[in-house]
Amino acid sequence: MRAATAVRHRAVESLPALTRLFDPGLDRPAYSATLRGLLRATVACERALRKQKAQWAGRGLDWGARLRKSQWLHEDLARLGVSPEPPPLPASPELDDISCCVGCLYVLEGATLGGCVIGKALRRNARIPVQAQRYFTGYGADTGARWTAFWLRIGAAHAWEAPARAAAAETARATFDLYHACLADAAP
């Protein structure tokens, strides 16, 4: 999955909306714009995953507990005094089966793990209140373990037939494209 999405992953990581989070001069308007871009994409993904609950229920992973990232973003924006309502939502990824759900969740969970790296940089920025950094703390001390549990579940996907693996990778790429579109527009 990592190799199949590497180009799209790098494209998202290199967007100004994300790279500016490492800038010690980051201010609240720029930070808020990034949070709103993340919120747009995250809400779209979480809604799509919730609609497919029957696909992933009982699959041995706490999928529902992982669909709280939009709540974290809402909390961060509220603590900044910014309306947490995003602009109109983009189209959600198409999640036709469990492999598509896995592809979408791969991006959401990867963003949670990567967000912790961003969180370390943000905590050094006195302009951004720690109380408005919930999204970038992930699952706290459990973030790594939860990523590992998810990754092991993904590893089981390698035993899937080629069409299922391809569908998961294609949905992950489409999810990265969604984040790219939402963050490319995230100007302060």
- Identity at 88, one-letter amino acid code: P
Helix/strand/coil for 187: coil
Distance between CA atoms of residues 41 and 178, nearest Å: 6
DSSP letter at 128? S
Let me know: does 41 contact 18? Beta carbons within 8 Å: no
- Helical spans, DSSP H, in the chain: 2-13, 16-19, 28-51, 53-56, 69-79, 98-123, 143-157, 162-184
CATH of the domain at 129: 1.20.910.10
Structural domain that includes position 138: 2-184
**Overall number of domains in the chain:** 1
Per-residue pLDDT reduced to its tens digit, 36-88 = 999 999 999 999 998 887 776 666 667 777 889 999 999 999 999 998 776 67
Per-residue pLDDT reduced to its tens digit, 89-133 = 788 888 988 889 889 999 999 999 999 999 999 999 999 999 999
